Structure 1
Amino acid sequence: MYRRGRSVQLGGGGSALYNNLSVLRLPHRQLACFCAVRGPAVAVLSAAADGLGASSASCAPRRGDRPPPPPAVTQAAWCVLPARVLLVLTSQKGIQMYESDGSVMVYWHALDVAEHPPAQAVFARGIAAAENFICVGTSSGMVLVFDIPHKGTNVTVSEVLEEHRDAITDIAAELGQAPEGAGDLVTADDAGTLCIWSSGEEFTLLNKIPAFGCTCSSVKLWNGVVAAGYGNGQIRLYEAATGVLRAEVNAHARWIYALDLAPLTGKLLSGAEDSFVHVWKLSRNPDTDDVEIEHCHAECVTDTQICGARFCDPEGCSFAVTGYDLSEIFRYSQV
C-alpha cells in the first residue's frame, strides 16, 4: 500500500515524452534528485525524503550556430557509471553529457542530419549506462555507444549498433544479476522490435524479438527478464536468453509511457495515458523457473496523462510520477 506524500514543484508543465522522469538517490546526503523535461529545458531538483528543503536548477541544450529557439529536448536521464555519474540530455540536434548537477557540460555529440531522408525527423532518444559505456538511441534506429573515461572529457564513440530499422524509443541495462547467456542490455523501437545485447568492448546481439504491430515505449531488464510496455496498454515479459514470451498483461487502458524496476525486490512500476500507476511484483517459480507477475497496487492521478514513473529507492518502497503539463512531481511512499 502506497500513500501520497509531499510533492516537489517542477516549476513548469512537464512535456508529453516517454520516460519523462529520472531519479538519482544520494543516500549519504539523505536526498533524492529528480529531473524532467519541460519545454526546451530540463528541470533538475533535489528534495529530502519528507519533501522539505527542495532546491532546483535548470539546464538546456546548446543551440550551436542556429538562432533561437533551442532544440527540443526529447529525454533527460542520469547515468550511474562505476566511477562517475553523468546527466545525459538528448534533443533534435544531438546528445549532451553534463556533470551530475547539470552545471558543467562534459561532452557534446551532434547528430548528422545528412544521414536522414529529408522528410524524416531527426532526434536522439533512449539513454542507458552499461558498465563504462553510455548507450543512446537515434531516430534512424542506430544506437551510439560512448566510452566514458573515469574522469575528464575524453568521451569517444566506440561502436554503433545498427540492428533496428525504426526510431529507438528506449534502452535499458540489466538491473539485477543477469543469468549466463541472457545479455545485459535491451533496446526497443517505434515498431515494437526488441534487441537484446551482451555489452563489453564489443557489443554482441543475442536475440531479436520481432514487432507485433505496436510501439514499445519503455523497457526494463531484470534477472534475465525483459519487461516491455506497449502502446496498446500491454506489459509483456520475455526471457532475455531465448526471446520466449513468458507473460502478457493487459495492464492499462491506454498507451504506456513509462516502466521502472526495483532491482532488490523485482517490483515493476508502470504509468500510462489512462492516469493510472500500477505496481507489480516479478518473480521466478523455483520449481518450474516460470516468470510470474503479481499486481500489488494501483494509484489514479486524476485527469493526468502520466509521462514518467520511477522508483526512488532500490527496494521499491517509494516512487515518483510526472504528467503532461503537470507542474509538480507527485511522490508516494509505502505505509
Structure 2
Amino acid sequence: MFRRELSIPLRDSAAALSNNLSVLQLPAGNLKQFAVVHGTSAQLLSAAPEDGSLVQRQLHAKEGPGVSPSLITQVHWCVLPFRVLLVLTSQRGIQMFESDGSVMVYWHALDSGDAPPVQAVFARGVAATGHFICVGTWSGRVLVFDIPAKGPNIVLSEELAGHQMPITDIATEPSQGEDCWADVVTADDSGLLCVWRSGPEFTLLTRIAGFGVPCSSVKLWQGIVAAGYGDGQVRLYEASQGMLHVQISAHARAVSALDLAPEEGKLLSAAEDTFVHIWKLRRSPESGSIEVEHCHGECVANTQLCGARFCDPSGSSFAVTGYDLAEILRFSSM
C-alpha cells in the first residue's frame, strides 16, 4: 500500500505531453530532482524530504537572437557511466545541458528536409545506453549521439532508420554482458516497436507490429518489453522474439507513462483516465513465461495524468504529474 506525501508545488502546470516527468536521484542523501515541461519552458526542482526545502528554476530552449521560443516536447536526465546530462527536446532541436541545467554543452538543430508544410517537426523520446544518448525525431529517425567522458565534443555517430512514423518513446537497459540480446527499444505513433542491440554500430534485431494505435511509452527489463498504448492496454513482449506474453486492460483511456523499478520488477502505469497502477512482473522459473500481479491502484480525481516515475530503484515511492495540475504528487509505501 502507498500513502500520499506532501506534494511539490510547480510555478506552472504540467503540459499535456506523454512521459512529462523526469526524476533524478542524487547520491547526496535523499535529495531528488524533478523536471516537468510547461510550454516553452522546463521546470527543474530539487527537493529534500528531510527538511522540506525546495529549489526551483526554469530552463528555456536556447534560441538565436530575435527568434521566438519553441515549444519543448520533453526533458529527461540521461545517466551515463561517467556523467549525467539533462536533455531537452523541442520543435527546433536537441539541447544537452549539465545535470543542473546551468551550462549547455551541445545543440543539434533539426533539419525539416523534405517535410510537407503540414508536418510538425520535433524531437521526442530520449534514453541513454552505454556512452550513447538516443533521441527520436518526427521523421521516425533515431539520432545516436556519442558522449565523451567530459566536455562538449559530442558527436552524432549514427541515425537509426527502423521507423516510418514519429518516435514516441525510447527505452534502454544496462547491458547484461555477452548474454545480453537486446538493450534498446524504440516506439512510434503507429504502435510499431523496434528492438536494437547497441554498440559501435546499432543492430536492428526485430520489429514488433502495432495494433493501429500509438505506443506512447515503453520500458525494458530483463528481456521483457513493456509497452503502453493509446487504447489503455499494456502489453508485455519477449524482446528476443517479439512474442506477446501478456496483455493487460490496464486503463480506460490512453496510457501516458510507464516506468520500471529494476530492483523489484515493479511496473508503474499512468493514464488519462486519472488512474495510476503498480504491477509486479516476474518470470516463472518452470516455464519462463511472464507473470503479472496487480499491487496498487490510485485515483487522482479529475486529473488527466501525463507523467509518472518511480523515485527509487526498489519502487517504494513514486511521483505523478497531471495536465493543468500545478504540483507534483508524491506517494510512498506504508
Q: For this structure pair, what is the TM-score category when the shorter chain's length is used for normalisation?
A: over 0.9
Q: Once the two structures are superposed, what CA deviation does each residue of 1:215-268 show, in whole Å capped at 9, x if it has no partner?
A: 100000000000000000000000000100000000000000000000100000
Q: In the alignment, which residue of structure 1 is the partner of 2:314?
A: 315
Partner of 2:64: 64
Is 1:77 matched with 2:69? no
Aligned partners of 1:6 and 1:51 also within 8 Å: no
Residue 113 of structure 2 aligns to a residue whose secondary structure is helix
Offset at 1:9? Answer: 1.0
- What is the distance in 1 between the residues matched to 2:130 and 2:174? 12
Whether 1:243 and 2:242 are equivalent positions in the alignment is yes
| TM-score between both structures, scaled by the size of structure 2 | 0.98
- Number of equivalences: 334
Is 59-68 or 192-201 further displaced after alignment? 59-68
RMSD: 1.3
State the Cα distance separating 1:48 from its structure 2 match: 1.5
Q: Distance in 2 between matches of 1:281 and 1:3?
A: 18
The structural deviation recorded for 1:180 is 2.7
Q: TM-score, normalised by structure 1?
A: 0.97
Residue by residue, what CA displacement relative to the aligned partner does 1:164-202 show, whole Å, maximum 9, x if unpaired?
A: 000000001016848835300000000000000000100
Q: Indicate the residue corresponding to 1:102 in structure 2.
A: 101
2:185 touches 2:194 (CA, 8 Å); kept in 1? yes
Displaced runs of 4+ in structure 1, greater than 6 A? none
Q: Do 1:198 and 1:206's aligned partners in 2 also have CA atoms closer than 8 Å? A: yes
In the aligned structure 2, how far is the partner of 1:39 from the partner of 1:257? 18
Contact persistence 1:126–1:170 (CA under 8 A): yes
Residue pair 1:179, 1:223 contacting (<8 A) in 2 also? no
Matched, 1:282 2:281: yes
1:304 corresponds to:
303
Does the C-alpha gap of structure 1 residues 103 and 181 become closer, same or farther in structure 2, counting only changes over 3 Å? Answer: closer
Quick one: distance in 1 between partners of 2:294 and 2:175?
Answer: 20
How far is 1:283 from its partner? 0.4
1:149 is matched with which residue? 148
Q: How does 1:220-239 map to 2 (within 5 A)?
A: 220-239=219-238
> Is the Cα–Cα contact under 8 Å of residues 3 and 334 in structure 1 kept in the other structure?
yes
| Residue 28 of structure 1: how far off its partner (Å) | 2.1
Partner of 2:186: 187
Code of the residue aligned with 1:142 in structure 2: it is R
Q: Secondary structure at the match of 2:320?
A: strand
Residue by residue, what CA displacement relative to the aligned partner does 1:2-55 show, whole Å, maximum 9, x if unpaired?
000011111111000010000000132320100010121000001113570011
Gaps in structure 1 of 5+ consecutive residues: none
